[in-house]
Amino acid sequence: MPFNTALTRKLGITVPVVQGGMQWVGYAELAAAVSNAGGLGILTALTQPTPEDLRKEIHRCRSMTKYPFGVNITLLPALVPPDYGAYAQVIIDEGIKIVETAGNNPGPVIEKLKKANTTILHKCTTVRHAKSAVKLGVDFLSIDGFECAGHVGESDITNFILLSRARQELKVPFIASGGFADGQGLAAALALGAEGINMGTRFMCTVESPIHHNVKETIVNSQETDTALVLRRWRNTSRLFSNKVSREALKAEQESKTGEFSDVAPFVSGKRGREVFLNGDVDFGVWTAGQVMGLIHDIPTCSDLLKRIEKEAVDAMNRTRSLYSDAPQSKL
């Protein structure tokens, strides 16, 4: 029997698992594979250099799957920001009905998408930000714990607390993000009140993930301790894979006399990070990875991964159910 949660019902998926929108990873190959396996695949809008390139990627994804998939739009601080409105318009024009949003000041983009009856999943690292997103009319909140890869926020609240706070405070359904890689994690998230989970690093380490095999092998061979938190000084904290460059970035951040971002900028170049995924040199630039690396031990297809997660989750829920009986117990 398939899962029946608010997420599966609304999105038309069979396994309540969403693939995170990851820069330089969220291409059609991965998104289609996740959707074909019963989850929700996500294209990353800003991985495409222009809105028209996103349109082409949407067409490419449609040629690979007949199932629902979404698009991620992450609004990040930049001297010359991308034309987010133009990306949103392409999404609307192409009839995409599911969008994952994240980042700063998402109101205008969310308003534009909601007018087109788009289902919005918005990522938040605090309950306070989640409440603000509710006022914008989002349909689901993706609650991102401190364990996650990439932007972790500034509160350092791990999911065991954050998800329970979300359950207590939020009137909008939410999914759990950060630290998930298996069915036991899915069962735990459902028990804490979530309607499903979002996975990023775990999907990086799949056959269909469009990154170099060396990166996938590195994830498999790494531990939960092999990440670094950089850019704390500028309240833009990011969890990265702990490699030569991220350690140099952290050193430059700590030793900067001026406190200027320019002291660390050369180390955190996104272009160098993209090259890691293309050339397989895991020390060439910075790249994001979550503490969940410690739970990842293989490189399966998306189909095999989601089948396994579904079975593990059902087994875990059945085991939990077996621990309680309302039958009278005999006294010893």
Give tens-digit pLDDT for 27-36: 999 999 999 9
Report the 3 state secondary structure along the chain: CCCCCHHHHHHCCCCCEEECCCCCCCCHHHHHHHHHCCCEEEEEHHHCCCHHHHHHHHHHHHCCCCCCEEEEEEECCCCCCCCHHHHHHHHHHCCCCEEEEEECCCHHHHHHHHCCCCEEEEEECCHHHHHHHHHCCCCEEEEECCCCCEECCCCCCCHHHHHHHHHHHCCCCEEEECCCCCHHHHHHHHHCCCCCEEECHHHHCCCCCCCCHHHHHHHHCCCCCCEEEECHHHCCCEEEECCHHHHHHHHHHHHCCCCCHHHCHHHHCHHHHHHHHHHCCCCCCCCECCHHHHHCCCCCCHHHHHHHHHHHHHHHHHHHHHCCCCCCCCCC
pLDDT over 90 percentage in the chain:
91
- Claim to verify: residue 37 and residue 160 sit in the same structural domain: yes
Q: In angstroms, rounded to a whole number, what is the distance separating the alpha carbons of residues 202 and 18?
A: 11
pLDDT > 90? residue 137: yes
Asked whether residue 184 is domain-assigned, the answer is yes
Average pLDDT score over residue span 74-94? 93
- Claim to verify: residue 168 and residue 274 sit in the same structural domain: no
Asked whether residue 218 is domain-assigned, the answer is no
Here the CATH number for the domain that contains residue 146 is 3.20.20.70
- Claim to verify: residue 123 and residue 233 sit in the same structural domain: no
Q: In terms of residue numbers, what domain contains 272?
A: 227-279
- Claim to verify: residue 72 and residue 126 sit in the same structural domain: yes
- Claim to verify: residue 30 and residue 139 sit in the same structural domain: yes
pLDDT of residue 88: 98
Q: Which two tokens stand for residue 45?
A: 């809008």
pLDDT of residue 330: 63
Asked whether residue 260 is domain-assigned, the answer is yes
- Claim to verify: residue 80 and residue 108 sit in the same structural domain: yes
Give tens-digit pLDDT for 226-270: 999 999 999 999 999 999 999 999 999 999 988 899 899 999 988
- Claim to verify: residue 24 and residue 127 sit in the same structural domain: yes
- Claim to verify: residue 187 and residue 231 sit in the same structural domain: no
pLDDT of residue 331: 62
The number of domains in the chain is 2
Asked whether residue 315 is domain-assigned, the answer is yes
Nearest to 186 by CA among 307, 72, 290: 307
Give the burial class of 212: count Cβ atoms within 10 A of its Cβ; 0-12 exposed, 13-18 middle, 19 or more buried.
middle
Asked whether residue 33 is domain-assigned, the answer is yes
- Claim to verify: residue 199 and residue 270 sit in the same structural domain: no
Q: Which two tokens stand for residue 57?
A: 């990627």
pLDDT of residue 136: 95
Asked whether residue 291 is domain-assigned, the answer is no
Residues facing residue 197 across a β-bridge: 17, 176
What is the chain's mean pLDDT, rounded? Answer: 96
- Claim to verify: residue 152 and residue 241 sit in the same structural domain: no
Q: In angstroms, rounded to a whole number, what is the distance separating the alpha carbons of residues 91 and 21?
A: 15
Asked whether residue 328 is domain-assigned, the answer is no
Asked whether residue 45 is domain-assigned, the answer is yes
CA dihedral 276, 281, 283, 286 (to 10 degrees): 0
Give tens-digit pLDDT for 263-289: 999 999 888 999 999 999 999 999 999
- Claim to verify: residue 81 and residue 131 sit in the same structural domain: yes
Q: In angstroms, rounded to a whole number, what is the distance separating the alpha carbons of residues 35 and 64?
A: 10
- Claim to verify: residue 104 and residue 231 sit in the same structural domain: no
pLDDT > 90? residue 111: yes
pLDDT > 90? residue 224: yes
